[in-house]
Structure 1
Amino acid sequence: MPWYCAPGRMHPLIVAFVAVLVSGCAGLTTQKIAEQQDRLNRIPADQVKEANQDTGTGISAPVIRDFARAEPQSSAWAFLARGLDAANPQAHLLFLAAAKRFLQADRSEQAAVVLTQTQGQTAEPWVLNQRKLLTAALSLTENVPASAWHLLADTEDADLDNGQRLMLYDLKLQSLFAQEKHQEALALIRSLPLKDSVSAEFDVLLRRVFDRLLRLTAEQLDLLQLHPDLVQEDRAWIDLARVYGSAGWELEVLRQELDAWTAENPTHHATPMARGLWPETCALTPSSQLALLLPMTSSFSKAASAFHDGVTYLHERERPSARPVIKLYDFGTDLEAVGAIYKEAIDAGADLVIGPLGRDAVSKLLADSKLLVPTLLLGPEDGRSQPNAFFVDLSRRVEARSLVTHARLRGLKHALVLHSPSPAHRVAADTAITVWQQQGGIIADTAVLDPQLSDYSAIISRLLGLNQSRYRIEALQKVLTDSLPVTVLPNIRQDLDVIFLFTDRGTARLLKPQIDFHHGGKLPIYSQNTIFEGMSDVVNDLDLEGVLFSDMPWLVRQTGRFGRSTEASTTLTRYRGSAIDRLFALGMDAYRLGCHIPKRLDRPDWQYAGASGALSIGIDGRIKRHPDWATFRGGLAELFEPVISR
């Protein structure tokens, strides 16, 4: 039992105040027991250290140090509860795990309180170093990168284990980039020990450097290139970012420029990465036929046109010797004709089919037809998969699964789910609840948002536990009488880690400020990408401050190959600022997927950084897509990256 819940340990008045400020002793103990069941059965090799005492079997017992990494499913509150029960030095390790998990959840206030608990109480080197690293991460979370750098610069990597060493360099890079000290970041990555340059962890750092350079505009890269302290290796980084940013969708131009870069920099740290960026030549030939099955004359005509334009845009940028013939087949609104039109395309010599577009059309084709050639289906699988079927699923169900998986990877466990009553939002919410529970999460409560309401105070107060908090304060005031007035801000229930919101943009803009007003604004809040259409509305989107969502890089990134100025091709800008811009991006990626499918067995590890996300193909034919994560800050949608990602 936590120390503050034990009877007889504190003066009754202090216990009463703690009961007001801390939400429920019994609940915390129950949570601790449940969380202990989530502990991993196996401990990663790089997370253990031999114990000083022999266990009697001739093998030293492993001791977990970084509990947050060893137990990815456990929440910050679980680590905190266990730490309050444990004795030192175990308690310190658990407190550090709680602080790390709070930082992963972007809850800096709680992390700061927990880190204070570990201050100056031990001289054990690992604990001291871990606390210093987490304190630096806290400074970065609070947007004080100079303070973070001061702590990190004073940390010797020789005293760190592998996980801490990776965190040290990662935090150093984040600090330098946050201070716009790009040259120093390049010097840091250049100076890393050679033994680290071949590790998988080092690859993470390389990709962070490259990704941050890609976020610079062409003008910023040109200015950085003039820095007097740059060496040739640093300039090569800048050249690679410029090449990929300017020629990213010009496939043949990109191949030629990447070939030239790798020939000039054969031993550069980024050379393996540059080879991975090289777009493979389309497996289809000029004699091949690629059939597009789209509802061009239907209520989905705008979406179909955007998808078609995305396919043809990238097709025109392929080298002529690897450019297949594209034939468009319109099935309009006649779902009964989908099978016949598919057969027509096959009879006409189609070597690969992209489409049909839409859930019902995909379901109808699978029910009525045998897929005779590789077919990229633009809709969800309904259990009737068959050979030659490849699925691109952009349904709200998939998005809901992505949201909850992302939250669980951050160690969040207890969730509120709020959704509008529409069928689409209800399906997404039900999917999120099911997957959350399958992944070990706990649903604290759910609520349906009445679209006729504009004031959700009653619902929010109930869900956040403010009513119970108010009752406790009133009960305490009765005990103390008017001679000792109680002034306490209501506390939301402590078992909450995250809120999932499935609704439209208008309702989200109404709801988020009310959640903030009722003291719940510091909880991570996830929503669908229906709250964003590619162009920020600074004034109105201030109401969505801090809301997290997943979306395509095509919409949330604005520089490099994703930069689209008003002077750019009208094909690239035609759909900008509307939801169907996602279909244009999907069309571009569908073309690249179609080009790869015929030779997928030769490249089982194939990955493609596309306009809709990072793509790969599973052996079951499902297309895996990893989107970008974004959040609203100051009314603008920005890429979201927790300071500590794992």
Structure 2
Amino acid sequence: MRPMSRSGSTVLGFALIAVLLLGGCATAPRATRTETTERTDAAAGQARALAAKASTLGGAERSAAEREIDRLLGEMDNATLARVAAELPAGDPLYNYAGRALLRRGLPLPRPFDRGEGWRFAAGAPAERDGYRPPARVAVLLPLSGELATPAAPVRDGFLAGYYGESRRRPEVQFYNTAAGGALAAYERAVADGSQLVIGPLGRDEVDALFSRGQLPVPVLALNRGNVRPPAGAASFSLSPEDEGSAAADYLHARGARRVLAIAGDDDGQRRAAQALRERLAERGGTVVAIVGEATADFAPFVAQNVDGVFLAVRGATARGVVPKLALAGLTGKPMAATSQLASGTGKAGEDRALDGIAFPTEAWWQRGVERMPTAAAAGALLPTARGPAARLFAFGHDAWLLAAYLEKLVNATDGAVEGATGTLRIDGFGYVLRTPAWSTFSNGVPVPLRGR
């Protein structure tokens, strides 16, 4: 610390004399808490009460309570949210919600999640410097025959690409066919065979059936997200439409969009993405002014509702017809985001120029490559399961391997994250894998990485 100059000490002396003359013997007034701090503490208190109650609720009541918790936390800035999370005592039910909100913003946790006794990692050699420490024996539950064998094939091949791309110690891996006897029976066989981690199953109903059994004897990384929350010692990884809708809400919110118009197609995934956008934007203090169909003829009425962002849950060919109508209404100067379906049905630059400037989530593998994994072009040239629409499931399978290899780090670290083929992966306190995707856009009708995300 530098010594105070003579002129500085003189000024300080005059200031002290002025205080004594003006204030007499009165003590200085105590600093008062600002109204902002009081509102934040009130919101945190309300969220804590809801979190304590949520565990006793079920169905729609629990969902409503959790949406309100997320809304209360979503209105806090980063510094406030980090402070609130750090001040929560161990075991407080709000911590998992606050920690999840921090991870969604790419911020570190003040301490690891309160995960209880569910996760068990075998003793043995310590983790590598980067956190790599796979279990000794892994079971993979997939439908290797029947109707679901087609989507399962790229998942299997992506898993094996990641597995064989690793030169360090690898576990023994056994595949179990869930199409022969069901996922529950396959899980029991995997446990009896001495597996230390089970990856799968793939079907939503199968995941619900497995998770409904409560705490499981061997940890599970399910490859879908159902309606049953993962029990202690289990996690759920998916490429769900809800994740893309939530990611789009965060993207638009970061660009100042608070009143968003959503345009969705008729299929279930598109509607689910739009609903997830609505819920996440509400958590962040924004609103979806309307969710309208892709066949809407005139968007001019929404201009009067001060729309400042647009979301598209439609395929690329459909979007090419929607964008001119948005332009006619004067809405194309707003931030625009879409689901990954925007790239579906594209490939002709002359026609796809209509999509220029619309952001959509893509696999990090395609955009920047992934360590120890061949490029998307090289993999696609060798394997049919790594090109076209299947490439996304190939990347998903690769990341299932990556999660298995780095699971201990992801579960126990305050900054646990791994850069996967589908994006940056983290696991929240409820057992859900949070995926931050890479983003792309169209430029002159050609998909290009979106820099400065």
The AA in structure 2 aligned to 1:398 is: D
Greater share of helix: 1
- Residues 1:539 and 2:329 aligned together: no
> Which ranges of structure 1 fall in alignment gaps of 5 or more residues?
1-53, 63-203, 205-276, 451-455, 465-492
The AA in structure 1 aligned to 2:237 is: V
Q: 1:637 to 1:416 in 2, by over 3 A?
A: same
**Corresponding residue for 1:607?**
417
Q: Distance in 1 between matches of 2:314 and 2:30?
A: 55
Q: Deviation of residue 405 (structure 1)?
A: 1.8
CA deviations over 1:42-64 (Å, ceiling 9, x no partner): xxxxxxxxxxxx9x9679999xx
Query: What does 1:406-425 correspond to in 2, within 5 Å?
Result: 406-425=251-270
Q: Distance in 1 between matches of 2:376 and 2:283?
A: 44
Q: Deviation of residue 292 (structure 1)?
A: 0.6
SS across alignment from 1:547: coil
Q: 1:278 to 1:626 in 2, by over 3 A?
A: farther
**Corresponding residue for 2:431?**
621
The AA in structure 1 aligned to 2:151 is: A
CA deviations over 1:472-531 (Å, ceiling 9, x no partner): xxxxxxxxxxxxxxxxxxxxx472210111222321121112222332221122111012
Q: 1:535 to 1:592 in 2, by over 3 A?
A: farther
SS across alignment from 1:509: helix
Q: Deviation of residue 327 (structure 1)?
A: 0.7
**Corresponding residue for 1:327?**
174
TM-score by length of 2: 0.66
- Residues 1:292 and 2:155 aligned together: no
Q: 1:540 to 1:314 in 2, by over 3 A?
A: same
**Corresponding residue for 1:395?**
240
The question of whether the paired residues in 2 share the 8 Å contact of 1:534 and 1:555 is answered with: no
**Corresponding residue for 2:192?**
347
The question of whether the paired residues in 1 share the 8 Å contact of 2:315 and 2:343 is answered with: no
Q: Deviation of residue 373 (structure 1)?
A: 1.2
- Residues 1:462 and 2:312 aligned together: no
Q: Deviation of residue 534 (structure 1)?
A: 11
**Corresponding residue for 1:529?**
340
Runs of 4+ in 1 over 4 A off after TM superposition: 56-62, 533-536, 558-563, 569-573, 598-602
The question of whether the paired residues in 2 share the 8 Å contact of 1:420 and 1:503 is answered with: yes
Q: Deviation of residue 559 (structure 1)?
A: 9.7
Q: 1:556 to 1:573 in 2, by over 3 A?
A: farther
- Higher relative contact order, chain-length normalized (CA < 8 Å, sep 6+): 2
> Which ranges of structure 2 fall in alignment gaps of 5 or more residues?
1-18, 34-105, 107-127
Q: Deviation of residue 588 (structure 1)?
A: 1.5
Out of 292, 297, 301, the residue aligned to residue 447 of structure 1 is 292
**Corresponding residue for 2:444?**
634
Q: Deviation of residue 278 (structure 1)?
A: 6.4
Out of 108, 133, 140, the residue aligned to residue 282 of structure 1 is 133
Q: 1:547 to 1:569 in 2, by over 3 A?
A: closer
SS across alignment from 1:550: strand
CA RMSD between the two structures: 3.3
Q: How many residues align?
A: 336
Query: What does 1:8-23 correspond to in 2, within 5 Å?
Result: none
**Corresponding residue for 2:328?**
517
**Corresponding residue for 2:364?**
553
TM-score by length of 1: 0.47
**Corresponding residue for 1:22?**
none
Q: Distance in 2 between matches of 1:506 and 1:588?
A: 29
- Residues 1:366 and 2:211 aligned together: yes
SS across alignment from 1:501: strand
The AA in structure 2 aligned to 1:330 is: N
**Corresponding residue for 1:428?**
273
SS across alignment from 2:291: strand
**Corresponding residue for 2:54?**
none
Q: Distance in 1 between matches of 2:214 and 2:434?
A: 25
Q: Deviation of residue 558 (structure 1)?
A: 6.6
CA deviations over 1:71-109 (Å, ceiling 9, x no partner): xxxxxxxxxxxxxxxxxxxxxxxxxxxxxxxxxxxxxxx
